[in-house]
Each structure stands twice: as C-alpha cells, then as structure tokens.
Copies of this chain bind each other. A is one copy, B any other.
Amino acid sequence: MTARKAQRTARLIDLLSQRRVIHLSEAAALLGVSEMTVRRDIANNQGQIAYLGGHILAAAEIEADIPYELATAADSHAAAKREACVHAVRKIRPDETIFIDCGTTLIHLVDLIPDNYQITAICYAMNVAERLSRKANVTIIMLGGVYHPASASFSGTHDFEILNSVGINAAFLSAAGVDAKRGATCEHFHEAVVKQKVMGLARENYLVIDSSKIGKLKRAFFSAMDGFDAVITEHGEVGADSFQPQA
C-alpha cells in the first residue's frame, strides 16, 4: 500500500463524512482517478467504506447492529406499533406541547406528526430525540441525566425541575406490560419515575401499545389502568374489558 493510495482512501472517507452518499462517477472525478481505481480502493477498505449499486457510503451506515434498538423489542411488532400511532396522532392538535415516552413504539408517532403543526415535544430517550430532530416544525425539550443503554433513555433528579416549568397538553406513554389487575408496567424503575411525574402534570395521558403487551407484567409499575384518559392499540381506542388476556 503506497502513500498515495492511503491518502486517496483517506480523502474518500473524508468526503463521506460530509456527504453520506457519493456516486462512483462523482468520487472518481473528485479524486482525479478512474472509476476502476475508486472501485479497487473500496474493495480494499470494506471495513470503512460500503458500496451499493454504484453509490458509495460510510460503512457505519449499513454495517453493525442497530444502535438503540432495544434487545427485548427486536422482534418488533413494528406494523402494529405504527398502526397504534396512526390512531394516537389524532389526539395531537396544532401548537400543543406533548410528552413522548421512550421505547420503540412512539418513534412511529414522531414520524406521523403533521408537518403543518407547530409542536413542542418533551422527551428523555435518545432515539426519540434523534427522530424528533428531523422534524423542522418541532421544538425539542430533552430531559438529561445518566444514560441507560437498555432503553436509550436518560434519568436524573433534575428532570423534575424542567418538567415543572412546562405545560403539557398531552402525554403519550408506552408500556412493556399491561395487566387488568396490576396496571401498566415497564422494564426499568428509572423510567417509571419519569412516567409517573409526567402523568401527574399532563392534562391528558394516553397509553399507546401494540396488543401483544396486553396480559404481560413487568418489573416496574407506573400506573393503574384508570390513570389513562385512553388506551390506544393498533385497533384504536380500547376499553377496560380488553385488558384481560384472551379477551
């Protein structure tokens, strides 16, 4: 590997850090070499550079595992979650301030926020914040603290101080388990603390879940079922009689 070769590869990676996607022909022109040479450079650096049908991109984009995907939710039910959020998003009105819980479910809600609504969104999970940051019409308020990898969320005693200074129209909450007798539960106690505080402040509280959660019981309790103004699943709003397993 000559110095020229290594330098060209470095320049290419440099380009990718700015552009994410570069077409083979463009890269060849930019680097002042033939397409064939760029091709060979890529083949020699598969760890760092990914190649897909004529387009070059940083290997980090493709490769690897999905950063914040929760291990437990990897099996997903993504279609049901999305459908539940289609129902839930109707609860949002223009110019409101909403709270968005952590987890994979409410990511879909973010995507569904209409672009012509001016929304302020409060969150405490990194994946939610990241998704929110792509919406130009949303002001984001993030609760900081110590990071919990399992749920990609933050927690800290300072959450409350921010929350006390904000008026929340609607809180959209998720749960890992819903049980008719024991209520809504989640995996981590630190999440439960935030959920409870938010539910005490928000004007309306909506639980958004896919129906696979019904009948399950997890470690951390955070609310009885009558604490929610509505429970929304992929079938729309459901009544108290739906929380029995086998219902």
Contacts and interface: CB of A to CB of B under 8 A. Distances in A.
Contact of A62 (B20, B54, B67): B20
A214 to B, nearest CB: 20
B145 A144 contact: yes
B141 A145 contact: yes
Given A67-B130, A158-B161, A161-B161, A78 B14 contact: yes
A162 interface: yes
Nearest to A140: B147
B144 A144 contact: yes
Interface in A7-28: 7, 10-11, 13-14, 17-18, 20-21
Contacts of A52: 21, 52-55, 57
B61 A61 contact: yes
B126 A133 contact: yes
A75 B134 CA distance: 21
Interface stretch (A29-37, A148-156, A200-208, A235-243): A148-156
A46 interface: no
A62 B68 contact: no
A18 B142 contact: no
A141 B147 contact: yes
Contacts of A142: 142, 144-145, 147, 154
A132 B168 CA distance: 30
Interface of A: 7, 10-11, 13-14, 17-18, 20-21, 47-48, 52-55, 57, 61-64, 66-69, 74-76, 78-79, 82-83, 111, 124, 126, 129-130, 132-134, 136, 139-147, 149, 152, 154, 156, 158-159, 161-162
